Structure 1
């Protein structure tokens, strides 16, 4: 079944481009477009959709205020002509944001992410297997579990250290991310650290040596990890 989309933008040309792009992707269905954000809000609060594509800067109410007003929020892709993006967009956990003028390749990547995420959400956690989705820098980011070296807690944030590329910072607690990970595959060893069990190569003096060469402390509160790891 195609994902139901609504586009909101005060520029008719922008809506025409989005309409044309959606028509080229069979997995999407354009339900309605709006140049008026207030009319869009009324429609969206009475209609179930999957994806909302909405301009950030509009004359009556902003796209951010529109999304904030919705009772049931769909996946949101913001569109904007400005590279600097408001912090409120981060709080609203948008799927992505697209800079105008939007080209089709960039648009298709954003909606592909939406399609993948919908499938991910439908799959039971124990069967999801190989990916984790977190919000980072105004976007939903997909991380392959095999690439995770370790996860670090930084007060209200977590920092996911990956084998390739830079670490991913997300506004999330360690407890919350552990709920998203396959049970038994990742273990907390310290208030500040969670590790993939299969990447721990040795333990000595209450420190876990990872396959990357990184050494992390094991606290007294999580010392049962040592005995459990020995059984693996």
Structure 2
């Protein structure tokens, strides 16, 4: 079962989403919200798997909200404006539904969410495979200290080696369990490996990883 909320500043649009969602057997639409801030507050206290999100809203846009959501949260944009499609996919949205969308199109987007959730690694499994120039390499979560973004590549720092993989940081975040947290726009750290927290950095083994002001509270 996929849990979800919908956020849109138009009541009629929310009613369409509610009607479609009621016909999808594996989707549980828990709440709908007329503004992004209310939806964000709900997601902080009662996180769901999926957010069905309008883009053009007052005060806080759907684009802005998507950037604030937890790493593992899936997003499907629902909007009347096709010009936002590129930005939506840059944020790794699962799908982009252009209003008015049919039930069949809505169902197709939800099936993507279902497939994506089934593909996510479990913390119990304790590892993930990443693609490198030498092929697929298994990375055990417990051995991964931190990750560093380098353009279209990421460097995974283990205790005795570094592994470089071609992927975006957003893609990497979706592959890692919840105990990997951002300390900086370019760094993800294994919270279980942090030995010391200082004002602007954390120490992990012999490494010191920067902490920016906007990510301080995530520790």
Counterpart residue number, 2:152: 156
Counterpart residue number, 2:45: 46
- Structure 2 CA distance for partners of 1:49 and 1:81, relative to 1, 3 Å: same
Residues 55 and 78 in structure 1, CA contact (< 8 A), matched pair in contact too: yes
Residues 15 and 33 in structure 1, CA contact (< 8 A), matched pair in contact too: yes
CA apart distance, 1:35: 0.4
CA RMSD across the alignment: 3.0
Alpha-carbon distance in 2 for matches of 1:103, 1:86 = 18
Secondary structure of the equivalent of 1:84?
Answer: helix
CA apart distance, 1:45: 1.5
Alpha-carbon distance in 2 for matches of 1:20, 1:11 = 15
Residues 88 and 96 in structure 2, CA contact (< 8 A), matched pair in contact too: no
CA apart distance, 1:26: 1.2
Residues 85 and 96 in structure 2, CA contact (< 8 A), matched pair in contact too: no
Counterpart residue number, 1:74: 73
TM-score if structure 1 supplies the norm length? 0.52
CA apart distance, 1:118: 0.8
Counterpart residue number, 2:18: 19
Counterpart residue number, 2:165: 175
Counterpart residue number, 1:98: 97
- Structure 2 CA distance for partners of 1:65 and 1:73, relative to 1, 3 Å: farther
CA apart distance, 1:89: 2.3
- Deviations 1:81-128 (Å, cap 9, x if unpaired)? 1121265423321111100001111100000011011111147699x9
Secondary structure of the equivalent of 2:4?
Answer: strand
Aligned residues: 137
Alpha-carbon distance in 2 for matches of 1:80, 1:100 = 6
Alpha-carbon distance in 1 for matches of 2:65, 2:100 = 22
